[in-house]
């Protein structure tokens, strides 16, 4: 050790912590040139947790649906995870733990700023991307499968890799379930501030559907109708509350504005006061819903979402049917990392 610096083992190339997540030593550079700008001193009592910030369902930074992922979260309590999710202030933050199921590679706990949720699409896909890039699961070139443990059960995810990089993650969602159909669309149309005639198309009307988490699928007459929607949040929440908590209103048209896309969608979550840039769970439910009525654009199709809020996303949906009914639904997309850092806790 020189007289000018106190050398440290940060481990994994992250400032202030070893692989265990505990601070080991600190770098005290007399000149200040090499000291970490945030953590001048780290004590043995402090804990550091790596995190990634990724944009999901896109290959372009600062678009898609943002997600924070803590790939080595062992040692965090539920209270701490909830507080971290509030601090991150994203729609979801995920925490990776060793699996409790023998059939899973890892356990994924998903938190919104309001608390833990059992499942969501883009947090599952983004977490699988980070788990692979962190080396927590194997990701050989080509196609391979990992198993993610969630509150709703163990779900398989396909990793498609090239040159050591994860190019796409495809998730098999839960069993397709179709629920309540709306008897009257007038309250919904008023809440979305569109004419009644613009809600529903031939053979399709608003209905609850789920492949893990329920959403209200709202087919619309045209792309223009969806783009011009300006929902009244309170009125829409009143409509959705009849179907459950934190239900997404997934309004869509069977046309799109970008090349290669088949469906244009918007996801409104008035209970949280947000429009979601990309809703993987609702996109999968949309595929199941369309398949049930023979309206699939193709066995594998692309939903564009988030364009109106400047976070354009592309969600790939595949549906396998049996006797005209949806049996297996898969949702996939790309992810792009934009931030890597660590969080310091006492």
Same domain, yes or no: 213 and 270: yes
Q: Which of 7, 40, 92, 116 is catalytic?
A: 92
- Number of separate helices (H) and strands (E) present in the chain: 6, 18
Same domain, 169 and 277: no
Q: Are 133 and 181 found together in one domain?
A: no
Residue 150: half-sphere exposure toward Cβ, Cα within 13 Å: 29
- Cα dist from 45 to 21, 24, 132, 188, 345, whole Å: 11, 10, 30, 54, 9
Backbone angles phi, psi at 6, to 5 degrees: -105, 110
Share the mean pLDDT of the chain: 89
CA distance linking residue 285 with residue 89, whole number of Å: 26
The range of the structural domain enclosing residue 154 comes to 48-174+335-344
Same domain, 21 and 166: no
DSSP code of residue 308: G
**CATH number of the domain within which 212 lies:** 3.10.310.10
* Residue 14 per-residue DSSP state: -
Residue percentage of the chain with pLDDT more than 70: 87
More confident residue, 269 or 245: 269
From 143, 141, 177, select the one nearest 157 (Cα to Cα).
Answer: 143
Give the tens place of pLDDT for each residue, 133-168: 999 999 999 999 999 999 989 989 999 999 999 999
Same domain, 222 and 263: yes
Task: Return the half-sphere exposure (C-beta side, CA atoms, 13 A cut-off) of residue 291.
Answer: 30
The pLDDT of residue 40 is above 60 = no
Q: Which residues, other chains included, contact 176 with Cβ-Cβ below 8 Å and sequence gap of 6+?
A: 209, 210, 211, 285, 288, 291, 292, 325, 326, 327, 329
Provide the domain count of the chain: 3
Catalytic residue check, 92:
yes
In this structure, the answer to whether residues 10 and 91 fall within a common structural domain is: no
Tell me if 191 sits within 8 A of 204, measured CB to CB.
Answer: no
Q: What is the DSSP string of 167-226?
A: EEEEEE----EEEEEPS--HHHHHHHTS-GGGB-BTTB--EEEESSSEEEEEEBS-HHHH
Same-domain status, 139 and 238:
no
pLDDT in tens, 126-138: 999 999 999 999 9
Residue 10's pLDDT band, with cuts at 50, 70 and 90, is: very low
State both tokens at 109: 């706990």
């Amino acid at each position: 050790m020189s007289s000018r610096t106190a050398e440290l083992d940060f481990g994994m190339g992250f400032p202030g912590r070893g692989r265990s997540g505990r601070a080991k030593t600190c770098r005290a550079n007399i000149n200040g040139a090499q000291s970490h700008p945030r953590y001048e001193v780290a004590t043995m009592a402090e804990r550091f947790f790596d995190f990634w910030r990724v944009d999901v369902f896109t290959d372009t930074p600062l678009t898609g649906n943002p997600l924070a992922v803590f790939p080595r979260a062992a040692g965090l309590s539920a209270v701490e995870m909830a507080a971290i999710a509030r601090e991150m202030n994203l729609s979801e933050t995920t925490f990776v733990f060793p699996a409790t199921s023998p059939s899973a590679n890892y356990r994924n706990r998903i938190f919104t700023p309001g608390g833990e949720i059992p499942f969501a699409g883009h947090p599952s896909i983004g977490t699988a991307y980070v788990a692979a890039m962190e080396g927590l699961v194997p990701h050989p070139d080509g196609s391979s499968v990992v198993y993610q443990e969630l509150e709703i059960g163990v779900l398989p995810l396909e990793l498609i890799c090239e040159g050591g990089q994860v190019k796409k993650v495809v998730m098999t969602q839960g069993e397709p379930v179709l629920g309540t159909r709306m008897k009257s669309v007038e309250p919904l149309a008023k809440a979305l501030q569109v004419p009644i005639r613009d809600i529903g198309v031939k053979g399709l009307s608003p209905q609850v559907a789920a492949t893990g988490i329920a959403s209200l699928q709202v087919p619309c007459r045209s792309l223009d109708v969806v783009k011009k929607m300006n929902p009244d949040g309170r009125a829409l929440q009143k409509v959705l509350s009849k179907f459950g908590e934190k239900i997404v209103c997934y309004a869509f048209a069977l046309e799109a504005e970008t090349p290669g896309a088949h469906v244009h969608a918007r996801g409104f979550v008035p209970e949280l006061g947000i429009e979601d840039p990309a809703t993987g769970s609702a996109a999968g439910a949309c595929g199941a819903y369309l398949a049930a009525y023979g309206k699939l654009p193709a066995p594998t199709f692309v939903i564009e979402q988030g364009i109106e809020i400047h976070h354009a996303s592309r969600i790939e949906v595949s549906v396998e049917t049996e006797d005209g009914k949806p049996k297996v639904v898969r949702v996939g997309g790309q992810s792009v990392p934009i931030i890597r850092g660590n969080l310091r806790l006492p």
